[in-house]
Structures are given as C-alpha cells and as structure tokens.
Amino acid sequence: MKHVLFLGYALFMGACLAQSPQQSRKVKRPPAQATNPLQSGPMVGYSDMREVMLWAQTKQPARVQIRYHEAGKPTPVYLTNEVQTNQQAAFTAHLLADKVEPGKKYEYNVLIEGRMVSLPYPTTFQTQSLWQWRTDPPTFRFGVGSCTYVNEPEVDRPGTPYGGGYEIFTVLAAQKPDFMLWTGDNTYTREVDWNSRSGVLRRYTHTRSLPEMQPLLAASHNYAIWDDHDYGPNDSDRSYWLKATTLDAFKLFWANPNFIFPESCAGTFFWNDCQFFMLDDRTFRAPDDMTDGPDKVYFGDKQVQWLLDALISSKATFKFIVTGGQIINPTKSFENYAIYGTERDRLLKAIADAKIPGVLFITGDRHHSILHKQERKGLYPLYDVTISPLTSSPAKPLPEELKQDTYVDGTLVTDRNFSMMTVSGPLKDRVLTIKVYDQKGTERWSRDIRASELK
C-alpha cells in the first residue's frame, strides 16, 4: 500500500573542483544559501501558560538563542536559553521561552552567534489562556495531516516521483492554525537511511528543510507522533533494530511537552478544554503477520492501561486519541487496528464499559482521507477521522471498505489534503467542526460534531 522511496543529498564539491583556475579566481563569495546560517526552522513547539518551546537547526556549530516580546509591544524584550549546536545532535536547538504570561501572543527573532537572522515570513507564538473558572474556553483551530514525502531523486526509486504538491504547506499556513497535529509518517526513511544514525538524522534534516514548510513551522505550534516511516522501514514493528536511534531523532526534531515512556514517543497535551492523547503504534507492536491473539499487541499492555487511566481521569470536553493506523474501520487489511482484533476489542470494550464521554480518534497512514463512524448500542458513536496524505502519493481504499457500515458517505478524498478542525462554542455546548481541504485549498467536505452527542 505504501511505498518506501529514498532520497539523498546532492553534493556540489565535484562541480567546484571541476572549475578552471580562471573560474575559481572569479568566485569571491560563497553561494547565496550559505549566507543564511539556518538549516531549517525556526519551529514553534508546545505551548503552555508559563512556557513555550521553540526549535531551530543550524548548518554548522553555532550559538543559538531566541529573542521575543509581546506582540505590539517592542519592550520589554526577553531571551531564551542559549544553545551551542553540535553535529551529534544534528545541529538542533531547543529553546525555552519562560518569561511569558497566559493568553498572550508574542513575536520572536532567531539569534545566531548574536546576530539576528532575517526571515521573509512571520515568526510568532502564543501562550494558552487561563480561562478556567473565569470564562468559557476560547475557540481554537488546529491543522491535521500525515504522510510527508519529500523527493530526493539521487536515491528515489526510478519512475514517477512519489512526493509532490509541496504548496499544500503554503495553503495550510494561510489558514493560520493555532497548532499543527502531525499524525505520523512525517518523514520517510529509506534504505539509505534506516541502518545508521547518520542516515536517520540526514533524512529528518532533508524533510525538515523543505522551503514550503518553514512559514507553517514558524508561526503555528507543532505536535507530532510517528508511524512506520519516521520510525523505521515500511510496516516496521517492535523488532526494528535501530528504534532507539529514531526515537532520539524524533526528540531532536520535535518539541512535544512530555513522553510517557522512556522508550516511546507517546505523550499527551491540552489545548483549552480538550486533551490530545498521542499514541505510539510502533515501539511495542507485534508483527502484522503474527496470528491474532492475546500476544499480538498493537499499542501494548502498558500503553493501553495508561491510555484508559488517562481517559477515565480526564475532564476534557473532547478527548482526541491520535495514532497512525485506522482504529474504527473494521476491514482487516493493510495496517488497520482490525488485524489486531484481540487488543482492539479489549480497548473499545474498556472505553464502553467505563462510559467515558467525548472520545474520538484522529488517524492517518492510508494516503486518503475518510470518516468512519461506529454505532454502539446504548452509547454514543465512535468517530475515526483519517487525514492523509500531505505530500505522499494518494491511494484509494479497497472497494469493500466503502461497503462497511462504518463508512460515512461523502467523506472520501483521494487527493493530497489536510484538515482544519475548530472547537468553538460555550463550555456546555462545544462543537467540533471538521473541514477537509485539498492541496489547492478547496474545501472537500465538512462535518459538525457536538460534544453533547458524545455523552
């Protein structure tokens, strides 16, 4: 279903050596791109009331810092910690803005070696509001997307390029989401990458350096999980030999607020009255081809138990469970949760038995977008919103998938696409609005789900 194609870096050294002496003498300065010390970023990471994490990657070792101030108020000015980037960490820097107040917007600049880097797009971040016991929660909007393939012809498979449509990030940035939810396959490691740390870090760098992506990273907060391609090879599971290395890369290149397990990317975060449960569907996963039964785990016992405990204790209006593979689609094909039927039945039964309100799933992986809805006797329905792909090649579902009772007619999109989701309304009547757009920005479908329907 998915293709694992592989990109490499173009080297210009041979061309330099091939110049004649006369040509060499004419070269008075380095190429224009060398004047920008940033390799990629800046990126805005997690947001809370008292701190925001920012991120940047340099081209070589350098001192990096962020200078920031409240939007519209040039003073006072604050500075994050300073980080000396190094090769071992792929020249990445995590920079903490901790002189902030709740519910404020800030403007910022990147300083490298003490000098401001000029960027042609807005660089802003925000803190979350202290609305509890005071007002209704604010309206917020977030983007959703998965499957970002960036071509590199030198190591791609021959034939039609698998990636494309990079302008989708420009369209997404124009929507000005409060944050972006990256739901797996956020980069595609290839054969040239997944057997070495150097290869993994190079692949993460190559994808993150896509020019069209930078304005979105710089002005919207970003949260991520992984799926098989940013974890390891296609359809990879707990046996992947370099998973500690890809986890290190994930932590270097993303800025999530927490990690529940030391060996996993799983975590959680809040935005206003909603909670997002970011699950890891790879680290603990048994092989797809294993015979179903109690030992064939997908999330694994300790992650399932954590999720159930966290769902039961959560007071969030909407409880978004975010993972790579489809959960509600009952078709036992590809990497759907249905091929792990024993664990799937256990999880869905436990959610039903605990009568947890407000649960719905956000998934990716499938290279098409679609909405599945599972009716439950005596309980509210479970929704699974699959959003995919951003820049990878689209794919169609199997004909039998569209005959399932769970398929919501009119929600299939087989072009590159993304979703914008909005949570609005007073606390006692919150509404989730789901809109799906193609890479040109044309709206393809829209649905409203009221919190009152999920009780």
For the chain, 455 residues long, the average pLDDT of each consecutive 10-residue run is 37 34 35 73 98 98 98 97 98 98 98 97 98 98 98 94 98 98 98 98 98 98 98 98 98 98 98 98 98 97 98 98 98 96 98 98 98 97 98 98 98 98 98 98 98 97
* pLDDT at position 16: 33
Cite the residue boundaries of each domain of the chain with CATH code 3.60.21.70.
Answer: 140-454
Side chain identity at residue 55, one-letter code: W
Query: CA–CA separation, 124 vs 359, rounded Å?
Result: 31
Let me know if domain 140-454 sits in CATH 3.60.21.70.
Answer: yes
Neighbour-count burial for 147-169, b at 16+ CB within 10 Å, e otherwise? bbbbbbeebbeeeeebbbbbebb
- In the Cβ-directed half-sphere of 76, how many Cα atoms lie within 13 Å? 5
Side chain identity at residue 294, one-letter code: P
Neighbour-count burial for 367-383, b at 16+ CB within 10 Å, e otherwise? bbbbbbbbeeeebbebb
* pLDDT at position 68: 98
Helical H segments across 27-167, by residue range: none
Query: CA–CA separation, 281 vs 263, rounded Å?
Result: 13
Which residue, chain included where needed, has tokens 């949570």? Answer: 423
Upstream peptide bond of 426 is cis (omega within 30 degrees of 0): no
By CB atoms closer than 10 A (0-12, 13-18, 19+), residue 322 is buried
Neighbour-count burial for 5-40, b at 16+ CB within 10 Å, e otherwise? bbbbeeeeeeeeeeeeeeeeeeeeeeeeeeeebbbb
DSSP string of 277-295? EE--SSTTPPPTTSPPSTT
State the architecture of 35-126 in CATH terms: Sandwich (2.60)
Query: CA–CA separation, 233 vs 188, rounded Å?
Result: 9
CA 26 to chain CA centroid, Å, is 45
Cite the residue boundaries of each domain of the chain with CATH code 2.60.40.380.
Answer: 35-126
Which residue, chain included where needed, has tokens 């595609």? Answer: 188
- In the Cβ-directed half-sphere of 84, how many Cα atoms lie within 13 Å? 0
* pLDDT at position 35: 81
- Number of C-beta neighbours around residue 195 at 10 A: 15
Residues whose CB is less than 8 angstroms from the CB of residue 272 and which lie 6 or more positions away in sequence, other chains included: 128, 129, 131, 137, 138, 140, 423
Query: CA–CA separation, 400 vs 360, rounded Å?
Result: 23
Side chain identity at residue 203, one-letter code: R
**Three-state secondary structure call for residue 241:** coil
Closest CA to 421 of 206, 276, 286: 276
Give bridge partners of residue 432 from the DSSP assignment: 423, 449
